[in-house]
Structure 1
Amino acid sequence: MSLARATLLLRQKHAVGSVSLIQRRFASHDSHAHDEHHDDTHYAREAGFSTPFWRHTVLLSLLAVGFYKWAPSPNQDVYLTRWLAQYMTPSEIWGAINEKHLLLSQQASDNTILQTNAKRPNMHRYRYPQILDTGSPHLQPVGRVPDMSSTVVRSG
């Protein structure tokens, strides 16, 4: 749809809406406008404090207050506390397990650091090590050829 056609349709729609609005306004000032208006619309009853939300809120509040007032204090030895303690692992065992875990974690960390920082030994590798044996050691001027007597060729 072209832009001009869409604009034309929009203007027509707006014009029809404004005409009906004007007719309604003039109709309200008619002679019948002063008569008593009767509204036949049925409105839903407003929700007060009798809704399930407020009922549950009040019940939960009463339960919380009752539990706080009559619940045993933490220092009392209650049957439920003794029953739970019977099935719990003692703290000494958990301390030993945690200490062992700490030592193993430290050892794993040390191994990781050792492997991360590891370097190969510094070594100069010649591409053709047999070149070291090719020259004659005789008739060389002093200081021109380095002393290679302590150099050992390794394979690998």
Structure 2
Amino acid sequence: MVAIAFFVAAFIFASFVEYWMHRIMHLSPQKIGARHLDHHKRNEGQGVVWEFLDYIKGSAIAMLLLFFFSLEAGIGWLLGALAYAAFSAYAHQLQHENPTKCFWMKMPVHYVHHKYGMWHHNFGLAVDWWDHVFGTYKLVDWMTEEELSRPERGYLQLRWW
């Protein structure tokens, strides 16, 4: 039961960290977010696997910290963080390639963030919770002819590498 609680806590906490890291990258794009600025210029993901590996590199220490307190808490926390990293890597790539498949959000916030150059809104990548909590959610009518004219693709038809 402890592992499940820490799994859920890590999943939620990872989404919180991701939201704030994305926001921080927008505060100082030349200093903190130079690589992120390039991401905005290219407007593409690097592939699910590479996104996942970046998330792991950036948070490996935090993923392992709870092992110092208990094995069960450590396992739950690590698995929750890994699950969120995998989900976020997938969601990020999906929003760049096939945003209409993001059924768990009313609007694919990361896609809209890029499409409309929203430097101060919609910072979520995989979820929009924190944009709602911190007042950065900006609803737009995003489903235009561009999205409607795209060929139908499945949930797994995206760049993995």
More helix by share: 2
Determine which structure has more spread, i.e. the larger CA radius of gyration.
1
Fold conserved between structures, TM > 0.5: no
Query: What is the TM-score normalised by the length of structure 2?
Result: 0.18
Query: What is the TM-score normalised by the length of structure 1?
Result: 0.18
Higher relative CO (Cα under 8 Å, sequence separation at least 6) belongs to: 2
